[in-house]
Amino acid sequence: MDRDPILLTPGPLTTTLRTKLAMLKDWGSWDADFNAVTARLRSQLLDIVHGHDTHVVVPLQGSGTFSVEAAVATVVPRDGHVLVLDNGAYCKRAAKLTQLMGRRASVIAFGEDEAVSPRVLETKLAKDASITHVILIHCETGTGVLNPFAEVAAVCERAGRGLIVDAMSSFGAIEIDARTMRFDALVAASGKCLEGVPGMGFVFLRKAILDACAGNSQSLAMDLYDQHQYMEKTTQWRFTPPTHVMVALAEAVAQFVEEGGQAARGARYADNCRILIEGLAALGLEPFLRAELQAPIIVTFHAPKHPAYDFKRFYAAAKARGFILYPGKLTEVETFRVGCIGAIGRNEMTQAVNAVGDALREMGIPTPG
């Protein structure tokens, strides 16, 4: 094979050569040139959500989950009560990390094949005045369902409750507008739809709540309030930054802007998603979600109902043909997942469909036609 495998996963993703090449230079973490890259990138991230007037953005070392944990610890007072809207695995993770940090957490459970309900949320908030904050996963990548961010934000604003949004798998591909959607914190990461490499998260914090965040976090390294204060004062990160990840993301964002920003990125992913679903349907494979719930980020498919099917063999056969798939995240139904994001387009998606068909036939699983 004359190329690396295509990563059809929710991250890490396939990146461009330009993004990879950006990591070939070493940077001093206190150097003015590196600090300028950090400042420029923070401004560009605010551009994406139209958030300059309402929010600041704070980068943080580590995976996206580090930043979700940091956001909850920074925004929620230690006597706060967090309500998690749960329709999948990443929602459950958010509830777990909230509890591990000593915050009270409650959960409203929804089906994994349905979006969370703003109406149910509104009823719950009216009944329980102790709830201070709500956590929403914008795109629940356990299944690929897109949750109603704008509607949930409107409910929280009317009820006077804080909203923390995990937009890990949606940021950069699906519209988020801070001018019309109120959120206290929104979390995303370098290795998702911006098509950088993993290793850095970033959190948008609403300016109106910043002062109240002082002293909330029980962590030194993950205190976003302190990180923001230090950056504003010095232009530097408090602790050693992921320099190569940062400059790769800066280069990836430059390409994001060149492509046409969120609208163009979202359109390419939607096209990838359409080719994938139509192509696998022709092979007899059905998506887990109804079309109206499906985000163009990652698609969960029912596994073939055939005795020869085994995910490990299926994965290996697809990998041998140059494509990395993702296991299912559901417990009740056997599934597998295929990502639509990264530096890929219709050619790669068509090749992926062909690879899946070849893999199934190699395993002795017949396909239509």
* Domains within the chain, CATH numbers bracketed: 6-11+261-362 (3.90.1150.10), 17-258 (3.40.640.10)
- Other C-beta atoms within 10 Å of 358: how many? 15
Q: How far is the C-alpha of 320 from the C-alpha of 184, rounded, in Å?
A: 45
Is 311 or 333 the better-scoring residue by pLDDT?
Answer: 311
Q: Which of 338, 358, 360 is nearest to 349 (CA)?
A: 338
Q: Does the pLDDT of residue 3 top 80, yes or no?
A: no
Question: Identity (one letter) of the amino acid at 295?
Answer: A
In this prediction, residues 122-134 reach a mean pLDDT of 98
In this prediction, residues 259-288 reach a mean pLDDT of 97
In this prediction, residues 283-304 reach a mean pLDDT of 96
Q: Does the pLDDT of residue 67 top 80, yes or no?
A: yes
pLDDT band at 366 (very low <50, low <70, confident <90, very high): very high
Q: Does the pLDDT of residue 1 top 60, yes or no?
A: no
Q: How far is the C-alpha of 161 from the C-alpha of 156, rounded, in Å?
A: 5
In this prediction, residues 180-206 reach a mean pLDDT of 98
Q: Does the pLDDT of residue 172 top 60, yes or no?
A: yes
Q: Does the pLDDT of residue 158 top 90, yes or no?
A: yes
- Other C-beta atoms within 10 Å of 65: how many? 17
In this prediction, residues 187-209 reach a mean pLDDT of 98
pLDDT given for residue 330 in this prediction: 81
> What is the pTM assigned to this prediction?
0.96
Is 198 or 329 the better-scoring residue by pLDDT?
Answer: 198
Alpha helix locations (H) across the chain?
A: 17-21, 32-49, 64-75, 89-100, 118-127, 149-159, 224-234, 243-259, 261-281, 311-320, 346-362
Q: Which two tokens stand for residue 220?
A: 């030194």
Q: Does the pLDDT of residue 2 top 80, yes or no?
A: no
Q: Does the pLDDT of residue 333 top 90, yes or no?
A: no
Q: Does the pLDDT of residue 220 top 90, yes or no?
A: yes
SS3 label, residue 7:
strand
In this prediction, residues 165-170 reach a mean pLDDT of 97
In this prediction, residues 101-123 reach a mean pLDDT of 97
Q: In sequence order, what are the residues at sequence separation of 6 or more whose Cβ sits closer than 8 angstroms to the Cβ of residue 170?
A: 138, 139, 146, 149, 176, 188, 193, 295, 297
* Cis bond upstream, residue 241 (ω within 30): no
Cα 362–chain centre separation: 34
Q: In sequence order, what are the residues at sequence separation of 6 or more whose Cβ sits closer than 8 angstroms to the Cβ of residue 313?
A: 363
pLDDT given for residue 369 in this prediction: 66
In this prediction, residues 244-264 reach a mean pLDDT of 98
Evaluate whether 110 touches 142 at the Cβ level (below 8 Å): no
Q: How far is the C-alpha of 354 from the C-alpha of 333, rounded, in Å?
A: 25
Instruction: Dump the DSSP string for 95-145.
Output: HHHHHHTT-EEEEEE--TTS---HHHHHHHHHH-TT--EEEEESEETTTTE
